[in-house]
Structure 1
Amino acid sequence: MEAEATSVRTWQMGVIPGLLQTGEYARELMTSIGMSEAVEEKVDALVEVRLARQVVLTRESPLTLWAIIAEGALRTRCVGEDVMRDQLGRLLNRGRRPNVTIQVLPSDSPPHVGQMGSYSVLGFENYADLDVVHVESLTSALYVEDGEQVGMYRDAFERLRAAALSVEQSAERIEQIWDEHGPR
């Protein structure tokens, strides 16, 4: 569906959105959440697929991505020394693209609708009634297609967008956290 979508609006509480991940961050993430030997054996292939999906951001008619990321996800400690620094650099770089918008929801924000969980709304130009919500869990994924429920997720995203730092302030916060990881 992502390849056919024209837009993705995503809220992520604990991780960097897959479309913005570096290979090393994705590898570390997948290795840490691998719940079976079968998953662990497929990490390289899963990382390759994750990175291949990112072509939607650079194709001729690129997907529009609006990502709201909880600040805590930006402060995750990674095993690899420069993994998070490189990941934050990727966010700063991708955030400069005209089709990518990144906002950060600060850790000290008051209670908000996003605390109910991460999700993505996949949009299909001129067909809002075909929008689909994707909710991922540890062992499965849920696809919400009911128009009323999709509308609730869209409204929740707008509330998160309003609560998050502006795009400019978000870039400054990401750069501040990037600087905290020290010089290369």
Structure 2
Amino acid sequence: MTHVNVLDPGASPLDYYGYELRRYREAAGLTQKQLGAVINYTGSLVGQIETARKLPTQEFSERTDAALGTDGLLTRLLGLVLRSRLPAWFQQVAELEARATEISTFHTHLVHGLLQAPRYAKAVLGAMHQTDIDDRTAVRLARQRILEKERPPVLWAIVGEAALRQEIGGSEVMCDQLARLLVHEANPLVNIQVLPFAAGVHAGLQGPFDLFRFGGDPAIVYTEGYGQGHPTANPDTVRDCSLRYDHLQAAALSIKESAALIRRTMEERYEEK
């Protein structure tokens, strides 16, 4: 008799996903191999996801929902699953991103995670180690789905010129990343400004920060160190960082000028390499 792993759906969101996948598959009278054939995946992969040994993807979830008639259950669970795989100290930030009506970010040497292209994200996450790099990259990119919601937040992102010129992952990866920034050029909900080297002394010299604003709750400022995050709703801190952000926006290039600089940097620095 084949041994079937007993799943505890309360152990984690990934275990719950696997439990529901198995429950619906068995209710449909399909083996793992048969379901895999229907959705164009291997039965082995189905088994790994059912036993919480492998992260599901958006495509897998959508195909399985359609095949098993689950009314989108697995696709809805996927966001919870991926968010739970973030480092514990960062999970609160992902929650803030998901709830915010407006997000304002300032980063000098790195493109913000909500705007990262896949290969750029993979290069950043692999800077110290390659362990589970594909899964960690998928988890980071999953945060970007908040920009595709029916009512997405307004995103303002100030990016230091250094982030455009710091070659992460090679010229092809950087070209891809800068092209990703330009995709948002005509989107009024995603506004990207470049803080040029020529700005000199500016209000963000103490370091990067994010501002989250909500419909009815106090705004929150988030700063980050190595392996730890620092969110605060302290009114004085929020007021200070809001003022700093206003000054940074004034010092940054306009949205149109920023797009022109991004395009010029891509063409002159990366495309010919």
Q: Is the TM value for this pair above 0.5?
A: yes
Provide the C-alpha distance between the structure 2 equivalents of 1:22 and 1:125, rounded to a whole number of angstroms.
29
Identity %: 35
Contact 1:20 1:94 in 2 (8 A): no
What's the counterpart of residue 45 of structure 1? 135
Relative to structure 1, the CA distance from residue 48 to residue 80 in structure 2 (aligned partners, 3 Å threshold; closer, same or farther) is same
1:59 — aligned with what?
A: 149
Distance (Å, rounded) in 1 between the aligned partners of 2:104 and 2:201: 21
Q: 1:106 aligns with which of 196, 200, 214?
A: 196
1:3 corresponds, among 92, 95, 98, to: 98
| Aligned-residue CA RMSD (Å) | 1.5
Structure 1 CA distance for aligned equivalents of residues 235 and 220 of structure 2: 9
- 1:11-30 aligned within 5 A: 11-30=106-125
Question: Is 1:179 the counterpart of 2:267 in the alignment?
Answer: yes
Task: Name the SS for the 1:86 alignment partner.
Answer: helix
- Residue 16 of structure 2 corresponds to which residue in structure 1? none
**3-state SS of paired residue (1:82):** helix
Determine if contact 1:88/1:174 at 8 Å carries over to the other structure.
Answer: yes
Shift of 1:161: 0.2
Name stretches of at least 5 consecutive residues in structure 1 with no aligned partner. none
Q: Is the CA contact (8 Å cut-off) linking 2:107 and 2:159 kept in structure 1? A: yes
The structure in which a higher percent of residues are strand is 1
The count of corresponding residues between Structure 1 and Structure 2 is 177
**Which is greater in Rg?**
2
* Deviation of 1:183 (Å): 5.0
Separation in structure 2 between the aligned mates of residue 10 and residue 79 of structure 1, nearest angstrom: 23
Aligned partner (choices 130, 134, 153) of residue 222 of structure 2: 134
CA distance in structure 1 between the partners assigned to 2:235 and 2:219 by the alignment = 8
Aligned counterpart, 1:73: 163
Greater helix fraction, Structure 1 or Structure 2: 2
* Distance in 2 (alpha carbons) for counterparts of 1:42 and 1:84: 22
